[in-house]
Structure 1
């Protein structure tokens, strides 16, 4: 994840987001709140991870949570792939 002047760059995908810290925190919070209402037609549960990514840019505790979750997910996937190969 790399940030460049108001854009979140993840591989080939570039997502614009607010340059101000307050704007990013508000956007991330709204994405997470909207994701919690994912059972509604317009909103979706996909908004929760996106909100965590936006918040992790500014909040250390969210960044640590995201990194731990990413490591656990990769270990889980690696363990599953090894079990399927047997």
Structure 2
């Protein structure tokens, strides 16, 4: 069984990694993502996450792009625990293997 400290550390690491990624977005998009991640915005966050995933699958069209997939999964993972575990692992991998994607210096 994991301790409360370990769980709190995982949550803190997740939020730090997400914030690093959000800072890479354009300012208007940052504001929208911060608004969507508020607990009260669940009713908008779930459909928006699904829309971003769908839009990422339609990346061949000019308005959509592959960048929409991870954002959609991050938005949905706030409310779907199995997705949260997967995105936590993915964020940890990105931070370790591709830190420049998060705006961190290369190691």
* TM norm. shorter chain > 0.5: yes
Runs of at least 5 residues in structure 1 that lack an aligned partner in the other structure: 3-8
Larger relative contact order (C-alpha < 8 A, sep ≥ 6)? 2
Alignment partner of 2:19 out of 10, 16, 25: 10
Which is higher, the Rg of structure 1 or of structure 2?
1
TM-score normalised per structure 1: 0.66
Partner of 1:62: 83
4+ residue segments displaced more than 6 Å: none
Partner of 1:23: 44
Partner of 2:71: 50
Between Structure 1 and Structure 2, the one with more helix by share is 2
Between Structure 1 and Structure 2, the one with more strand by share is 1
Between the aligned partners of 1:35 and 1:48, the Cα distance in structure 2 is: 5
Report deviation, 1:35: 0.5
Alignment partner of 1:74 out of 77, 95, 105: 95
TM-score normalised per structure 2: 0.55
Q: How many residue pairs align between the two structures?
A: 74
Give the SS at the match of 2:31.
Answer: strand
Partner of 2:58: 37
